[in-house]
Amino acid sequence: MADSLSILVVGATGRTGAEIVSKLHNAGHTVHALVRNTAKAQRLLASDIHLIEHDLQDYSGYDTIVQGKDIIVYAAGSTSFRSYYFGKNTPKHIDYQSVRQMAMAAENHSVKQFILISSMGVTHPFFFLNIFGRVLTWKLRGENALRSTHLNYVIIRPGKLIDEGYTPEQCVLYQDDKIRNQAISREEVAEITKQCVANPDLVRVTFELIKDESLAAEPLSAKFARLIPDQNRTPYTQVKVTA
């Protein structure tokens, strides 16, 4: 991949999405932010970010939006309590159907990499987050929709997201689908995302992400080198769920 890439960030004004936009922009990439509210985006994001105002429910516009983009980072998610049960922005819509439609559009336009910010615990249907509209069930369906394409993808499953802390050398990348209590800051998730962009050898891989301050610091490059592509993992948990 070229040093400077054209990158679409979906969910760019969310707390994690805004951190991702900032990291990628500061790394010299051309960042296109897909947002619901341009005025809000102008307040939150750098002035030279390319803003695309679009309703994620309008799938017909996805082909135009992804055209010419090298990489897509999908960081949107259903966050408000009411949206778990009512309206258009339910987990079913945002975490599954929109991911599926965006991935298909990306495949149609030969996007080089699709990075999905998912969640730890998606293969554990009784994890407490699933109380809220089965959000993890829909996130897993979104993951599997992405896996069903031929895209080069990276699926990042962060633990509990917090706003403070930045020691990426103490981030831990697991691939065992277990739930852990340690948190991870949004800035650290954004840094890992930026490093995934910079590592084109990461192809069709899924990992959980936390920070463990009890461990010695280790370069991120060493952590990435140990990741195993999904098709080479035995066993690889891919839970089948119903609508």
pLDDT band with cut points at 50, 70 and 90 for residue 240: very low
Residue type at position 178: K
Condensed to tens digits (0 to 9), the pLDDT of residues 111-166 reads 999 999 999 999 888 887 777 668 888 999 999 999 999 999 999 999 999 999 99
> What b/e readout covers 188-224, taking b as 16+ CB neighbours within 10 angstroms?
bbbbbbbbbbbbeebebbbbbbbbeeeeeeeebeebb
Distance from the first to the final alpha carbon of the chain: 38
**In the chain, % of residues over pLDDT 70:** 90
* pTM tops 0.85, yes or no: yes
Amino acid at 56: L
The radius of gyration computed from the CA coordinates of the chain, to the nearest angstrom, equals 17
Q: Is the pLDDT of residue 206 over 90?
A: yes
pLDDT tens across 39-76, in order?
A: 999 999 999 999 999 999 899 999 999 999 999 999 99
Q: For 88-111, how does the pLDDT look when each residue is reduced to its tens digit (9 = 90+)?
A: 678 889 999 999 999 999 999 999
Residue count (the chain): 243
Superfamily (CATH) of domain 6-232:
NAD(P)-binding Rossmann-like Domain (3.40.50.720)
Phi, psi (rounded to 5 degrees) for 20: -65, -45
Residue 87's pLDDT is: 57
Residue 35: is it exposed, middle or buried by C-beta count within 10 angstroms (0-12/13-18/19+)? buried
Q: Check residue 34 and report its DSSP letter.
A: E
Domain ranges of the chain: 6-232
